[in-house]
Amino acid sequence: MATQARRLPFPTLAGRLPDYIVPAIGVLLVVLLAVWLGVNLIKEPAEFYRLFLIGLTNGAIYGLVALGYSLVYGILELINFAHGDVFMLGGMLVATMVSSFGLAGDSGLFLWSMILLMLVIVMAFCAVLNTTIELVAYRRLRHAPRLAPLITAIGMSFILQNVALVWKGARPTSVDSILPKGEVFTIGGVAYTWDKLIVLLFTVPVLVALLLLVQRTRQGKAMRATAQDRDASAMMGINVNRTISFTFFIAGGLAGAAGLLYALYITNIRYDEGFRLGLIAFTAAVVGGIGNLPGAVLGGLVIAMIESFNNGLSWATPGSDWTQSIIFGLLIIILVFRPEGLLGERTPEGG
């Protein structure tokens, strides 16, 4: 007992089992998953493609929100609960703009320029809002015990929800469907429509731009340095407060972009949607490896695919009753066997 304790000062589940068990379980799960997907693909290929496209689109939206969680966590090690609600308020703002600009039924260049205009407005709005939240609720607590900013974050989340409740009421706000629904191409008899493609066309460049920003620019270097060691970077002449503000600004902009896509694609948004989506996105960030940017998007895709396939496939599928249990069961499995998330042992500041 004593020798074992010395060898394994922190015995984990994985640590107590023979070496081959963990990979074996992992391989078994992957094989089962592959068999399940394969059989469904062969039985009903059209449905499979349809669900894959649905999952891809929802996953891109989850990923965009998850990026914001990951960025902020990476730099402050703070789970910004209010992030989901910033996203929700962005969506509400878009809903308001769509109806007040009277965009229903428009098309062509005018529609696209209006969508771009809305994107700029909503990103600016959410970026400023998120920076303000940092300034008001988190900055002064930077040296407080870690639980304190966590609680203020939950508090901010409720405040934003109540703002939305007063603004839009508890009923879901319906957004006019303005994205074109024509098909881009067809695979296996299933049409891939423009509204789905647009979501991807936003997410991929945003992810690339964000990676370039964090890895290649001076500002990104400052962010990584701040994440690694705040005091040392201050000594090196980095303005820590401004760097953190900048991070919140970027995260807010991402939330705004996600809010726009969500409002236009899902066409329905509720005052408590942010909390729900925030939970999914946070899970996505943890699944992908929190602090890791491509991981956040990958995690979002994984969760959306599970949701979509589990709700929609018909062969040996648990069905929608079990979707949440499966998603969070997966989270537990991943955290137990691979605590650093899917995309490996990178440090939070690794980008």
Partner 1 sequence: MILRKRGLLGFLILLVAVLGLAAAGCGGDDDGGGDGGGGGAVEALPSASCGPIRKGSDDPDALIASDLPLQGANRALTTEMADAIEYILDSHDWKAGDTVLGYQSCDDSTAQAGSWDSAKCSSNARAYANNDSMVGLIGTFNSGCAKLEIPILNRESLAMVSPANTYPGLTEGGPGTESGEPDVYYPTGKRNYSRVVWNDQFQGAANAQFAQEIGMKKVFVLNDSETYGLGIANLFVQYAKKLGIQILANQKWDKKASSYESLAARIRSSGADGVFLGGIVCNNGGKLIKDIKAGAPNVQLLGPDGWTPISATIEGAGAAANDMYITQPGVPVDQLTGAGKEFVDGFTERFGKAPNPYTAYAAQAAEVLLAAIEKGGTDRAAVSSALFETDVQDGIVGSFQIDENGDTTLGKVSVYQVKNGEETFTKTVTPELEFVEGG
96 binds partner 1 (CB under 8 A): no
172 binds partner 1 (CB under 8 A): yes
268 binds partner 1 (CB under 8 A): yes
3-state secondary structure of 227: helix
Task: Report the alpha-carbon distance of residue 205 to residue 213 in Å, rounded.
Answer: 12
Task: Report the alpha-carbon distance of residue 320 to residue 322 in Å, rounded.
Answer: 5
85 binds partner 1 (CB under 8 A): no
279 binds partner 1 (CB under 8 A): yes
286 binds partner 1 (CB under 8 A): yes
Among 60, 251, 307, 343, binds partner 1 (CB under 8 A): 307
106 binds partner 1 (CB under 8 A): no
Least Cβ distance, residue 73 to partner 1 (angstroms): 8
Distances, alpha carbon 176 to alpha carbons 116, 140, 169, 277, in Å: 17, 41, 18, 21
44 binds partner 1 (CB under 8 A): yes
Nearer to partner 1, 219 or 338 (CB): 338
Whether the CB-CB separation of 118 and 179 falls below 8 Å is answered with: no
25 binds partner 1 (CB under 8 A): no
Least Cβ distance, residue 157 to partner 1 (angstroms): 8
Binding segment (CB under 8 A) for partner 1, from list 124-132, 235-243, 248-256, 331-339:
331-339
290 backbone φψ class: left, alpha, beta (φ>0; ψ -120 to 50):
beta
Among 25, 141, 240, 266, binds partner 1 (CB under 8 A): 266
Q: Give the list of residues 6+ apart from residue 52 with CB closer than 8 angstroms, or none.
A: 305, 308, 309
Q: Give the list of residues 6+ apart from residue 282 with CB closer than 8 angstroms, or none.
A: 66, 69, 79, 84
Q: Which of residues 226-265 bind partner 1 (CB under 8 A)?
A: 262
Structure tokens that stand for 28 in this block: 């078994």
Least Cβ distance, residue 308 to partner 1 (angstroms): 4
Nearer to partner 1, 172 or 180 (CB): 172
Nearest one of 62, 54, 59, 74 to 278, comparing CA atoms: 62
Task: Report the alpha-carbon distance of residue 9 to residue 2 in Å, rounded.
Answer: 10
45 binds partner 1 (CB under 8 A): no
Task: Report the alpha-carbon distance of residue 164 to residue 295 in Å, rounded.
Answer: 30
Least Cβ distance, residue 94 to partner 1 (angstroms): 15
| DSSP bridge pairs for 187 | 190
Nearer to partner 1, 217 or 325 (CB): 325
**C-alpha 81: how far from chain center:** 12
Nearer to partner 1, 113 or 314 (CB): 314
Binding segment (CB under 8 A) for partner 1, from list 97-105, 121-129, 233-241, 309-317:
309-317
E strands in the chain: 173-174, 183-187, 190-193, 268-269
- Contacting residues toward partner 1, per CB under 8 A: 44, 47, 50-51, 54-55, 58, 77, 79, 81, 146, 150, 154, 165, 168-172, 174, 262, 266-268, 270-273, 275-277, 279, 282, 286, 290-291, 307-314, 319-321, 323-324, 331, 335, 339-340, 347-348
